[in-house]
Structure 1
């Protein structure tokens, strides 16, 4: 009985000590095991999306200037993990890629970033951001890779991800998915859009985001939601992205843009590195224009116009696509981007750009400037096709205009685009998988293009028909 009494006394003391410990506030300057702790952590929803650990998170693959032979990968850890590594090997039918000598290790570039968003009342977060370019790859080959701290234990490494390099034959078909603004309610309502797109096209080669990935440029929680929504898709399907106005705080790009992404650095000036860039994918030239910097900074505008002209003048690829956040043709009054259009439209026409992929207007529209409201099924000598789309739940209204072949409101969409030697196929889909808009663009050896507008499953959707408030 005496022994049981001692156990009981110890039990009571442990409870009392635990309660006392929990009642003490934790200072924002206190550390335990090298991690900063914050008194506000209990008040932060989804704090796991904000705070890093030793285990890599926010893993994402980006396209490089040479996707056939390389890819870029970024990830995040806690600030104690000051070094990062990528391990890569050719995929095998079993675990035999782990045999000694098969795995190549690459040292990442690492930086510590201290980040807090006073506007969103988020706590200060110290994190290490790691980036690497994995090069010397073989075309048309499936690889496995993982990222981590270099330790022997698997605990602080990511899982092994599969990734496939493009074919060496530039005329082989490829597909990519284009998203307009995700921006709001990203975890709860955009997640199903990116996941449905991947389910419909699991062999997709890359994804393209036309700006406004999140709503507040410095909000760590929103960035955490964006990475959470895509999950392992971000780590297995390469992405490219162009910034939107919500990735900017007035004239300043989000401090998390470059640490989180690893995009080509071949733009015209340092101010738009990794926001304005060009790359080749198979037989397509892809160009990202930083539309926000373009409109808010005259030096950036002049540099980007001159640079785009030079890139298009030297382009040898059969297909050309531009992406930018602000549309050349907006979908509603009061959102007309005259400066952008007057500067870039002459170059688009001069070099016969095929496709311009945009966001910002939170509606859907697709067409070409010579449409004149005719709505023809077949256009024998088509010009540039312009698309404005939205993938998140924030919705605006639009106005019917002559350049539009199909428009829509109150509809979350993603676009699957497949490119072959002579044909570009475009389909715009809802989260239910319904086809909202579709066309084929056929280009002959002389560059003449025929547009064939395909029938869709879903008729015109307007916000007034669904929002009766």
Structure 2
């Protein structure tokens, strides 16, 4: 019996070793076998087109005092769309004065199927006048919305500036936009500094963006400029403007012809608003910008673009863009440059030319701040909206957090024959 003990121990050791080896082998095999990818959930019903108009958005493509553009979406069953407009009235009989305008229809193939986008530009409107309008096909109609045309002279106004929305738009960015409109509903327009969505070729993300804008987008004009995420990569890895952009936004075509509706300017109540497309043809835009600034009858000039001239996030810089465009801003004393991309907040110290640069973010995606000498005020891990008030020789900029707290405020004061004065308030 004693002679059998070592043999039994040895046998058990062999079994234990083999079991351990087998277990390691099985575990390794399981780790190397890819788990089946979870398919994305089906799109919610509110994201899919129907015969009823949705994604209704006001933009400007011509004179804001006498025209107003509107774009909307339906399913493909709507092949002939129209819009109706009338001066807004206090009672329901205003509809008796409604005029009907035929829409242009564009099919758009998306990853969720094909939809029809329709657009109308109302013309021959009266300045500073409240209008009511609706869109549809004669059977399926939207509700009546109001909008007010701009004045044809330099009257005081306020606009809303939003940084990147980009990620988790419906769940985390919408609250900021709602707070902005609750805070100050009487804005003349909304300026979007690029990266409206994260993947410009994903229709569900645009569904979230339009859910964020909601009825506000149908009553207050938007002016967007594209960012890198609005330029998804194609099969060859090249970035191209997403197909949604021109289908759903009716914007000016007074920029470089190959960059229509992304590089443009609008003159409104004494301010020239200029969109620079940072994604392509930068040198050509520099030449165009010279001409647009040289022949500028407006008191104020505001540029908005996505990539910042001065970066505020860690590991980012745009020296080529700065070398190309900043000397032109300096030469013509551009008053304010509004930007996105860096997912932080930063306001520059006044430049020798008097220009003030602002980077900001509205959505929940955040980067680490890279403090630099050019900054006067900065923040990280904070969502913002901004109100810009223009009144005569004074422009007042206010930055508010998602909960409506004032974070930064300054004034730019025009001084004839001298550089602008920038004053903290």
What is the TM-score normalised by the length of structure 1? 0.79
Does the 8 Å CA contact 2:61/2:253 hold for their aligned counterparts? no
Please give the alpha-carbon distance, in whole angstroms, between the structure 1 residues aligned to 2:151 and 2:108: 37
Does the 8 Å CA contact 2:110/2:202 hold for their aligned counterparts? no
Please give the alpha-carbon distance, in whole angstroms, between the structure 2 residues aligned to 1:449 and 1:45: 54
Please give the alpha-carbon distance, in whole angstroms, between the structure 2 residues aligned to 1:239 and 1:334: 31
Mapping of residues 23-172 of structure 1, within 5 Å: 44-99=41-96, 102-116=97-111, 124-151=112-139, 156-170=140-154, 172=155
Matched length: 382
Please give the alpha-carbon distance, in whole angstroms, between the structure 1 residues aligned to 2:314 and 2:90: 57
Q: Residue 253 of structure 1 aligns to a residue in which SS?
A: coil
Does the 8 Å CA contact 1:368/1:383 hold for their aligned counterparts? no
Does the 8 Å CA contact 1:286/1:321 hold for their aligned counterparts? yes
Please give the alpha-carbon distance, in whole angstroms, between the structure 2 residues aligned to 1:253 and 1:414: 26
Does the 8 Å CA contact 2:283/2:324 hold for their aligned counterparts? no
Does the 8 Å CA contact 1:212/1:245 hold for their aligned counterparts? yes
Mapping of residues 344-363 of structure 1, within 5 Å: 344-363=325-344
For 1:234, which of 217, 220, 231 is the aligned residue?
Answer: 217
Residue 30 (structure 2) aligns with: none
What is the RMSD of the two structures over their aligned residues, measured on CA atoms?
A: 1.4
Shift of 1:333: 4.3
Mark the runs of 5 or more structure 2 residues left unpaired by the alignment.
Answer: 1-38, 233-237
Q: Does 1:279 align with 2:262?
A: no
Shift of 1:292: 1.2
1:174-201 deviations in Å (ceiling 9; x for gaps): 1101011000000001001111111111
Mark the runs of 5 or more structure 1 residues left unpaired by the alignment.
Answer: 1-41, 117-123, 294-299, 371-380, 455-469
**Which structure 1 residue ranges, 4+ long, deviate > 6 Å from structure 2?**
none
Please give the alpha-carbon distance, in whole angstroms, between the structure 2 residues aligned to 1:334 and 1:206: 33
1:245-272 deviations in Å (ceiling 9; x for gaps): 00002421001010011110111132x1
Please give the alpha-carbon distance, in whole angstroms, between the structure 1 residues aligned to 2:165 and 2:418: 34
For 1:301, which of 266, 271, 282 is the aligned residue?
Answer: 282
Please give the alpha-carbon distance, in whole angstroms, between the structure 2 residues aligned to 1:258 and 1:285: 22
Q: Does 1:225 align with 2:222?
A: no
Please give the alpha-carbon distance, in whole angstroms, between the structure 1 residues aligned to 2:125 and 2:119: 17
1:50-69 deviations in Å (ceiling 9; x for gaps): 31000000000002331000
Which one has the largest radius of gyration? 2
Shift of 1:46: 4.4
Residue 255 (structure 2) aligns with: 267
What is the TM-score normalised by the length of structure 2? 0.87
1:331-361 deviations in Å (ceiling 9; x for gaps): 1343111111110011000000000000000
